[in-house]
Structure 1
Amino acid sequence: MDKKVFVGDCIIDGVEDNGFYCDDEDIAAGQTMEPIKKLEDISRMYDYFMSRNKFRDAVMFTVAINIGLRVSDLLELKFGTFYRADWSKKIQTYIIEQKTKNTKGRSKNFFNADKFYREHADLPEEEQLRLFMLKAKEARNTYIKNTEKKYVKRYIKVNDLIYEALDAYRNSLFKEPQMSDYLFRDESRNCTTENKPLSRKSAWNIFEKASKDLNLGIKLGTHGLRKTFGYHMMSINNNSHEALYTLQKIFGHSSPEVTLRYIGITRENIDRAYDDVGKHFGEVIVYPSIGKWQIQAG
């Protein structure tokens, strides 16, 4: 039996960080999570939960693969994230991503005094002090600006499928939920007692067990759901560059290559897409053999 290791408050983000995924919830040491690539398997996963009356898990699965959040953000979702007080639906909502909320939009502010004095060792002491004070003032100004920075919101367009799932889930609850209630809570807290979200480890176990029971042949965990969103977004858009850059922005990756590796699409897949397009148009566009004399004559 594999030993599961759950890492707390990890700031590593997938392939971009040493080739493994660690959102403080999702990783068994060094083992990468994979997306569900077949629609048939997505249907089987949904039916797996519904056939067992696990409505919460079915909805969590549906929401996860439709918006591609890290599980740390997924479990923070509340009814008020999607609904107004009168239960009217928000066309667009937003979240503050837990992993990036303390760093996104803020400037780096690091001043190494030792390095400064090494680089300015030949200058007179008064000039060193003058430059040092300028650096210190710059660092102070950056600090002030960073403290004034507001958290960056990630906006999400909520599609109809998500609301179908949420409406059905709401109707299945024993008690009308409040806007402040977490969407995915421990079953024993089903809108009747303490309002706390499902733990990350519990969520990981839910989807990993389902994956094994269905013999999907992948390490899914919870991070695999985020990657499933990305994989299918690329797939339905024919692996286009526009879709790739959109997905890169959604995931907050540093480069398109990181996004491709992250969701399991390699450069070969992209190249194959171009070849397929060429073959497709080649069925109706046929160039005749052109001899050199024809080129010269032209």
Structure 2
Amino acid sequence: MAEVDAIKDQDTIRLIGHLLERRFSKQVSDVWCIGLNLALRISDLLAIRFHDIHQDRLFLREAKTGKTANIQINPKTLQLIERIKQEHPNHEYLFQSHRNRQAINRAARPISRRYVTRAFAEVGQELNLKLGTHSMRKTRGYHLYQATKDIGRVMKMLRHSSEGVTLRYIGITQEDVDKDFVELEL
């Protein structure tokens, strides 16, 4: 799997969402926007069912780690989720595949990870970025760290067990640490 980056610029974050909608679909753009706000791995994000959401909280068991995620959903994300629910009141999954409509007797399924991965990669290539599905999680972690400088909070949000792993994950390099030492004079 290719290494992907956190997106550090707010304008680029918005541009990615716009391009995903224009080049692929509103649904893929919603994956980007909601994924940025929930900081889940793509397999967990695509597996969200509407019944996993209780008022302003999301409860799920992470597939990779088995850890329980109990996430408070911010108002922007709640609005997106509510719009999706209103547009597709019979859907079971937040990001349900529309191809299932063609197979009447088939169980509902979310859109495929492969489709989302391809969409992100193509937009990333267009913008000359290492963009992938993990970019959403990394971006959320990076921006929380920049806002708080509290690696413990970022670790807890990403459900990591090591500071070093978290710092590498969100793209904090020795160069960034050096810059902090130079810019912060006491």
Q: Would you say same fold, with TM above 0.5?
A: yes
Aligned in 2, Cα 1:161/1:76: closer, same or farther, shift over 3 Å? same
Amino acid paired to 2:26: F
CA distance in 2, matches of 1:49, 1:156: 25
CA distance in 2, matches of 1:225, 1:38: 13
- Tell me which residue corresponds to 1:96: 61
> Within the alignment, does 1:251 sit opposite 2:158 as a pair?
yes
Q: Which runs of 5+ in 1 are unaligned?
A: 1-26, 84-89, 102-151, 283-298
Decide whether the 8 Å contact of 1:260 with 1:267 is kept in 2.
Answer: no
RMSD: 2.3
CA distance in 1, matches of 2:161, 2:50: 32
Larger radius of gyration: 1
Decide whether the 8 Å contact of 1:33 with 1:220 is kept in 2.
Answer: yes
For 1:40, which of 11, 16, 31 is the aligned residue?
Answer: 11
> Within the alignment, does 1:269 sit opposite 2:176 as a pair?
yes
Aligned in 2, Cα 1:56/1:269: closer, same or farther, shift over 3 Å? same
| Structure 2 counterparts to residues 207-286 of structure 1, below 5 A | 207-213=120-126, 215=127, 217-237=128-148, 240=149, 243-278=150-185
- Tell me which residue corresponds to 1:163: 78
CA distance in 1, matches of 2:176, 2:141: 14
Secondary structure of residue in 1 paired with 2:129: coil
**Deviation of 1:272 (Å):** 2.8
CA distance in 1, matches of 2:5, 2:122: 14
Output the TM-score relative to the length of structure 1.
0.56
CA distance in 2, matches of 1:195, 1:163: 22
Decide whether the 8 Å contact of 1:211 with 1:219 is kept in 2.
Answer: yes
CA distance in 2, matches of 1:210, 1:58: 11
**Deviation of 1:200 (Å):** 1.8
Secondary structure of residue in 1 paired with 2:184: helix
Aligned in 2, Cα 1:190/1:40: closer, same or farther, shift over 3 Å? farther
Task: Please give the per-residue CA displacement for 1:54-108, whole angstroms capped at 9, x wherever unaligned.
Answer: 221121111111111111111111112224xxxxxx222221010111xxxxxxx
> Within the alignment, does 1:184 sit opposite 2:95 as a pair?
yes
